[in-house]
Chains A and B, each alone.
Chain A
C-alpha cells in the first residue's frame, strides 16, 4: 500500500507550493498518472482522503488524469497503445519498443484560495496551531 507514501508526497509538494503563494487552503490538486506505474488511481484517492487530514489540502479534491501507455518501435517508428498486457518487442520487426508515455506521476497544478490577506490574525493562529507538530 505505497499509495499512502505517494499521497503524502503529493500533499507535501502541494502545501509547499501553496505556502509560497500565501494561500489559505488548497481546493484542487491536478495529477497526471501514467498506466505504466505501480500506482492505482482508486487506491491513491483512498490514501489521499486519509493523508489530507489536518493539512492545507484537507478540503482538496485530487483530480487524476490517466495517461495511457504509448510505445514506439525504434526501427519502424510505429506508435501503439498496448491494450492487453505489456510487450516491448515490436510485432512487426522484432526490435525493442521504447516507452513514449505511461510513466507519468506528475502534479500539474493546484488551485488554492488566495484570500489570505483578508483573514483576521486570530484565524492565522488557529490555522497554525491546528497543524500536527511532527
Chain B
C-alpha cells in the first residue's frame, strides 16, 4: 500500500496557545482594572530587592500583590509577605520561564480582585521569558551594572521587548568599572523607545524617579479603567 504525501497549509504561530491564554489573562486584568507588571532579569540582578524597595514606596497608596516565579523554593514569596503584602509562589520545577497558563492557574488559587498593581516576578533568565506573553501591560527588565555594560547587546530580544529598563546597583558602578552612559547607550541601541531609570535599590539612589513614574502609571491605568 503506497502512502500519498499530502501538504496541508497551517500558517500558525507556534506560541499561539500561549498568546490565547495571555489574551484571556489580559482581559481578566483589564476587567479588574489593575496594572500588571512582568518583572524580568538575569539571576542576581536584584529583582526581589528592587521589588521590596518599590513596594515600600507604594504601600499605603495602592493595593498591590505579587506573583513570584522560581524554579525552586518560596523564599522570594516569603520576603514579599514579610512586608505585609500578599504573595503567591509559582515553582516551575525545571522550566526556565513563566507562561500564560501558569499565571492563569495561579490566578485560580490566588484571587487578585481589588488590586491596583499586580507584579509578576519572572524566573531569573534573560532569554526564555522574552518569548512568553503573560497578559501583562507593563514589561520591566532589570539589569545590574555588576553584570557589565554589554548585557543589552548580548540579549537584544529581551531588552527590545521592555517598556522600562531599570539599571540597578549603580552604587557598584565605579567598583565594577562600568560607565553608566555606555550601558544606557547599549539599551537605546536595542530599544530606542524604552524608558530608562538608573538606580540602586540598596542605597535608594534614583529610586524616587522610578517609583514616582510607576505610581503615575498605576494611577493613570486605574482611573482609565474606572472611566470604562
Q: Which residues of A contact B (CB under 8 A)?
A: 1-2, 5-6, 9-10, 12-14, 17-18, 21, 23-24, 27-28, 31, 36-39, 85-89, 96-97, 99, 105-115, 118
Residues of chain B within 8 A (CB-CB) of A21 are 6, 8
B226 interface residue (CB < 8 Å to A)? no
Q: How far is the CA of A59 from the CA of B70 in the complex (A)?
A: 35
A38 in complex: contacting residue of B99, B157, B192, CB < 8 Å: B157
Interface readout for B132-162 with A: 1 if CB under 8 Å, 0 if not?
0000000000000000000001001110100
Chain B residue at smallest Cβ distance from A106? B13
Q: How far is the CA of A18 from the CA of B96 in the complex (A)?
A: 30
List 20 interface pairs A-B (beta carbons < 8 Å), by A numbering.
A1-B96, A9-B14, A13-B14, A13-B17, A14-B10, A17-B10, A36-B156, A38-B127, A38-B128, A38-B158, A85-B153, A88-B160, A97-B192, A105-B14, A106-B12, A107-B12, A108-B9, A108-B10, A114-B5, A115-B4
A107 in complex: contacting residue of B3, B5, B14, B160, CB < 8 Å: B14
A112 with B8: in contact, given A2-B127, A89-B189, A89-B192 (CB under 8 Å)? Answer: yes
Q: How far is the CA of A5 from the CA of B102 in the complex (A)?
A: 13
Interface of chain A: mostly helix, strand, loop or mixed: mixed
Taking the nearest CB of chain A, how far is it from the CB of B12, in angstroms? 5
A107 with B11: in contact, given A23-B6, A89-B189, A115-B1 (CB under 8 Å)? Answer: yes
Chain B residue at smallest Cβ distance from A118? B1
Number of B positions contacting A (CB below 8 A): 37
Establish whether residues B17 and A9, one from each chain, have CB atoms under 8 Å apart when the complex forms: yes
Residues of chain A within 8 A (CB-CB) of B97 are 2
Taking the nearest CB of chain A, how far is it from the CB of B2, in angstroms? 7
Taking the nearest CB of chain A, how far is it from the CB of B21, in angstroms? 12
Residues of chain B within 8 A (CB-CB) of A110 are 7-8, 10
Residues of chain A within 8 A (CB-CB) of B95 are 2, 5
B59 interface residue (CB < 8 Å to A)? no
Establish whether residues B11 and A108, one from each chain, have CB atoms under 8 Å apart when the complex forms: yes
Chain A residue at smallest Cβ distance from B6? A114
Q: Which residues of B contact A (CB under 8 A)?
A: 1-18, 95-97, 99, 127-128, 130-131, 153, 156-158, 160, 188-193
Establish whether residues B190 and A86, one from each chain, have CB atoms under 8 Å apart when the complex forms: yes
A18 with B193: in contact, given A9-B15, A105-B13 (CB under 8 Å)? Answer: no
Q: How far is the CA of A31 from the CA of B160 in the complex (A)?
A: 23
Establish whether residues B14 and A6, one from each chain, have CB atoms under 8 Å apart when the complex forms: yes
Residues of chain A within 8 A (CB-CB) of B131 are 2, 6, 37-39, 105
Q: How far is the CA of A37 from the CA of B156 in the complex (A)?
A: 9
Chain A residue at smallest Cβ distance from B99? A5
Establish whether residues A2 and B128, one from each chain, have CB atoms under 8 Å apart when the complex forms: yes
A106 in complex: contacting residue of B11, B130, B160, CB < 8 Å: B11
Closest 6 CB pairs of A and B: A96-B192, A2-B128, A113-B3, A86-B156, A114-B6, A107-B10
Residues of chain B within 8 A (CB-CB) of A9 are 14-18
Establish whether residues B190 and A87, one from each chain, have CB atoms under 8 Å apart when the complex forms: yes
